[in-house]
Structure 1
Amino acid sequence: MATGPGATGASGFGSEDSLHQQVLASFPLCDMTEEDLRQNPQLCKLLATLAQHVDKTGLTAHLKTELEKTEQKLQSQRRVWLCSESFHSSLQEMIQDYTVRKHGSTVPQDQKMFYETMERCLLVAMCARQLDPSNTTKPDQPSLLGLTPQQVMEIMPSERNVQRMKQILPREVEEHLKKKCFSYLSYYQPEWENQSEGLKRSKLSYLSGQMDKDRKRTKSLKESSYENAVLLQRQTQLCLSEMTKCVQLLQSLILERCLTIQADLDRKKLDYFEGKCELVLQKIKAEMAGIQLDTYTAESISAHRAIRINLESELQAYQVEKQSVELKLSSFQILGKEFDTLAEEYCKFRQEIEMRNWALKEFTKDNSS
Structure 2
Amino acid sequence: MSQRSDTVFVSSLGKGDSLHQQVLAAFPLCQMTEGDLIQNPLFCKLLATLSQHVDRTGLTQHLRRDLEKAERELHTQRLGWLRVESLHRVLQEIVQEHRFSKDSNADEKFFSTLERCLLLGQCVRQLDCCSDLSEHHNTVLGLSEERLMRQMPPEQEVLQMNQRLPSELLKHLKKKAVNMLSYYQPEWDSEQQKAKSLTEKNRENSTLLQRQTHAYLSELLKSMKILQCLILDLRLKAQKDLDRKKIEYFEAKCEIGLQRIRLEMLQVQLDTYTKDKIAAHKRITEKLNAELKTSEMEKQAVESKLASFEIYGKDFESLVEEYSRLRQEIATKSWALKEFAT
TM-score by length of 2: 0.44
Q: Which has the higher contact order (CA 8 A, sep 6+)?
A: 1
TM-score of the aligned structures, taking structure 1 as reference length: 0.41
